[in-house]
Structure 1
């Protein structure tokens, strides 16, 4: 776990800001010991809204996924962090991506009984999809795909198919 991951998890906004300002750490560095979580995943899970904001302002990508396909929105949904979900949505972060089991953040919020998050995410999902459609029509590029995770998922699918055909 990097210094940035630790500061983000602890909600030490000033430390996060200093690390990012001094370029001490890549805001998108994945922690392989913690399922490829980024500092943004930690801040979202812990409900540190201002830390989430500063990380994104310094280039943290809210579309990055853990090894199980969780985005920061999944972690915020699991922990009932409505303010973080609202912030992510306002910044056009993907709040409607499926993890490796097919669960979106709204389903995770349902599982953990966070009804306010469920209500918000149901509305946010449709807004997210409408925004994606509009962006595609207008040629606006969106940063809503984790290429590394998508490639990893493709490899896993190919391995599963070849194993089943053996």
Structure 2
């Protein structure tokens, strides 16, 4: 776990800010010992909106996935972090991606009984789809794909079929 992962997981905003300001850590580094979580996954799960925001301001990609295919939105949904989900949505982060098992964050929120998150995510998913459609029409790039995970997942599916 990198110093930035630890600071994000602990909610130490000042340390996160200092590490990012000094370019000492990559905000998109995946921790192989923790299912390839990024600092953003940790901050989202813990509900640290200020850290989520500063990580994204410094290039953290909210589309990056863990080994199970979870985005930061999946973790926020699991723990009922409605403020984080609202922030991710406001920043056009993918909040409706499916994990390895076909579950979107809204399904995770349903499983864990996070009713406010379910209500919000149902509405936000429609808005996200509309935004992606508009972005495609206007040629606006939307960062919603973890290329490394997609390639790895494709190989796993191909191997399991043979």
TM-score bracket, shorter-length normalisation: over 0.9
Distance, in Å, in 1 between the alignment partners of 2:161 and 2:100 is: 16
Large movers: runs of 4+ above 6 Å: none
Determine helix, strand or coil for the equivalent of 2:26: coil
Measured after TM superposition, the shift of residue 158 of structure 1 is 1.0
Measured after TM superposition, the shift of residue 123 of structure 1 is 0.2
Measured after TM superposition, the shift of residue 157 of structure 1 is 1.1
Partner residue, 2:65: 65
Determine helix, strand or coil for the equivalent of 1:118: helix
1:133 aligns with 2:149: no
Residue-by-residue CA offset, 1:80-116 (whole Å, 9 max, x unaligned): 0000000000000000000001000000000000000
Partner residue, 1:75: 75
TM-score normalized with structure 2 length: 0.99
Distance, in Å, in 2 between the alignment partners of 1:141 and 1:86 is: 21
The Cα RMSD (Å) is 0.4
1:155 aligns with 2:155: yes
Partner residue, 1:105: 105
Partner residue, 2:42: 42
Distance, in Å, in 2 between the alignment partners of 1:132 and 1:145 is: 12
Determine helix, strand or coil for the equivalent of 1:8: helix
**Greater C-alpha Rg:** 1
1:13 aligns with 2:13: yes
Determine helix, strand or coil for the equivalent of 2:18: helix
Q: Give ranges in structure 1 of 5+ residues lacking alignment.
A: none
Measured after TM superposition, the shift of residue 161 of structure 1 is 1.5
Total equivalences in the alignment: 162
Distance, in Å, in 1 between the alignment partners of 2:38 and 2:147 is: 15
Distance, in Å, in 1 between the alignment partners of 2:91 and 2:6 is: 24
